[in-house]
Amino acid sequence: MTPKNNPLQIPQLSPREIVKELDNYIVGQAAAKKAVAIALRNRWRRQQVEGELRDEIYPNNIILIGPTGVGKTELARRLANLAGAPFIKVEASKYTEVGYVGRDVESMVRDLTDLAVARVRAEYMDSAHGKLDALIEERLLDLLLPPPFGEADETDEHAKETSREERAAKLEAYKKRRAELREELRAGKLDEETVEIEVSESSMPLMQIFSAQGIEEMGFNLPEAMGEGATRRKLIEATIPEARELLFEEEFDREIDMDRVVREAIRRTEALGIVFFDEIDKIVSASDGEGGPDVSRSGVQRDILPVVEGTTVTTKYGPVKTDHVLFIAAGAFSNVKPSDLIPELQGRFPIRVEMDRLGEEEFYRILTEPRNALIKQYQALLATEGVKLEFTRDALRELAKTACDVNERTEDIGARRLHTILTTLLEDVLFDAADMTKKDVRITKGFVQSRLKDIVEDEDLSRFIL
């Protein structure tokens, strides 16, 4: 049982095609898109290299420099989706130097491996449906209509005296009823029915232990350790859809070769993994070594260095090499500079891209162009209540202008300002949607101004509301 996709089959998109895909979700930032597109294409190129030289080709890690809300995280996330790669976003501020209270930097690799294992297992599950669905259907039918002659009947004296004709008649009636139930089951007519199903009751509590590598999770099965036998089973009542899911999980666990899943996940992590290291500027200080809150910042950088350079991290699935993991760091660098990083770490992030600040035109495009544009999201949400939401072009321009003005006057949080403004603008519509008699809502420039004017003009109020 194997998934349909080759685990290391990287999409053969040219850098230009990658940028075009990113354009569907991210407005502007041409330089950053170009840099990450080259990084992704180089991964495909490396896979085509024959011989020992392949292992000598290391990824060019990237630092994205720019204020919050300009698309740094979205860029990394969409890149990982394009590559079909294990991806994790971590916050630099959560990590501390070894010896201080906080997360060990190597835990990011363990978390990345966990995600890869879960993803590969899910792919195996998808490929298993064709094989297991027929078996699950038979087990459900057995629960709904148990066979007329069980093992007990073979030893029961009265059953032995039953004539062959009676047994044949019972069996024929059973087959007919089972065929009827099969049709009803496939048509979804039995989804409200409940059945009793026996499931495993896990006797393996998950424990956390402290090791030289940091906090690790460890499964511990006390009954087995004490020689008290296998996993316990218990009866539960479940609807047909719930029972189908439980039975599939049980059958899948019998069929799956988890060792193969783990090997594949580790291989994918090592060759394709992407770690997005956000807020890297939070572990940088222009005056390290002076004590106080900055005491462990350069220490964190030193701890990160071997992971980025390439090391072997011990995980619960086995050792994972980080030599070819792509690291994308990001930070605003408003109070410090990338050159304030320790020199060794600077050298491991050779590609530096400055992200553009967002202006009024970019806000307008963000509202309308991406596939997941905010306007489309709110229209889809209100459509579930039968409400048709429409924005005039002037209204969208006014929203973009308002977002830009508020960012300039208060704090620049980039495109996230659009979320707060739209939520404030549509608060009454979202609240009243279920009870509205008039289901067509048209947002005009005048509506935007009347709803937001007082808040925008009152700088103190806009700080709290927008």
In the prediction, which pLDDT does 225 show?
46
Instruction: Please report whether residue 22 resides in a domain.
Output: yes
Is the separation of the CB atoms in 186 and 136 below 8 Å? no
> Distance between alpha carbon 292 and the CA centroid of its chain, in Å?
36
Q: Are residues 132 and 228 in the same domain?
A: yes
Is the separation of the CB atoms in 119 and 101 below 8 Å? no
**CATH number for 367:** 1.10.8.60
Q: Are residues 256 and 268 in the same domain?
A: no
Instruction: Please report whether residue 7 resides in a domain.
Output: no
Q: Could you tell me the sign of the dihedral formed by the alpha carbons of 147, 152, 158, 161, in that order?
A: positive
In the prediction, which pLDDT does 45 show?
86
Q: Are residues 450 and 374 in the same domain?
A: yes
* Burial grade of 101 (CB within 10 A; 0-12, 13-18, 19 or more): exposed
Instruction: Please report whether residue 122 resides in a domain.
Output: no
Instruction: Please report whether residue 4 resides in a domain.
Output: no
In the prediction, which pLDDT does 278 show?
85
Q: Are residues 152 and 217 in the same domain?
A: yes
In the prediction, which pLDDT does 10 show?
58
In the prediction, which pLDDT does 86 show?
87
In the prediction, which pLDDT does 87 show?
87
In the prediction, which pLDDT does 457 show?
66
Instruction: Please report whether residue 205 resides in a domain.
Output: yes
Instruction: State the total domains in the chain.
Output: 3
DSSP letters, 321-355, are E-TT-EEEEEE--SSS-GGGS-HHHHHT--EEEEP
In the prediction, which pLDDT does 319 show?
92
* Tens-place pLDDT, residues 418-439: 888 888 888 888 898 888 888 8
Give me the amino acid identity at 209. Answer: I
Q: Are residues 308 and 404 in the same domain?
A: no
DSSP letters, 63-126, are EEE--TTSSHHHHHHHHHHHHT--EEEEEGGGB--BTBSSB-TTHHHHHHHHHHHHHHHHHHHH
Q: Are residues 133 and 253 in the same domain?
A: yes
Q: Are residues 414 and 312 in the same domain?
A: no
Point out the domain boundary residue: 354, 373, 399: 354
Q: Are residues 324 and 277 in the same domain?
A: yes
Structure tokens that stand for 373 in this block: 């544009």
Point out the domain boundary residue: 354, 381, 400: 354
Nearest-angstrom CA–CA distance, 135 and 380: 38
Instruction: Please report whether residue 6 resides in a domain.
Output: no
In the prediction, which pLDDT does 266 show?
92
Instruction: Please report whether residue 203 resides in a domain.
Output: yes
For 47, residues 6+ apart whose C-beta sits below 8 A from its C-beta are 8, 10, 54, 271
Q: Are residues 89 and 143 in the same domain?
A: no
Nearest-angstrom CA–CA distance, 247 and 295: 53
Q: Are residues 133 and 249 in the same domain?
A: yes
Q: Which residues of the chain have pLDDT under 70?
A: 1-11, 96-103, 149-163, 201-231, 286-297, 454, 456-466
Point out the domain boundary residue: 326, 354, 382: 354
In the prediction, which pLDDT does 169 show?
78
In the prediction, which pLDDT does 337 show?
82
Is the separation of the CB atoms in 86 and 315 below 8 Å? no
Instruction: Please report whether residue 83 resides in a domain.
Output: yes
**CATH number for 347:** 3.40.50.300
Nearest one of 331, 309, 407, 404 to 363, comparing CA atoms: 404
Q: Are residues 381 and 413 in the same domain?
A: yes
Q: Are residues 36 and 159 in the same domain?
A: no
In the prediction, which pLDDT does 190 show?
74
* Tens-place pLDDT, residues 281-315: 888 876 544 444 554 667 778 888 888 888 899 99
| Domain span including residue 402 | 360-465
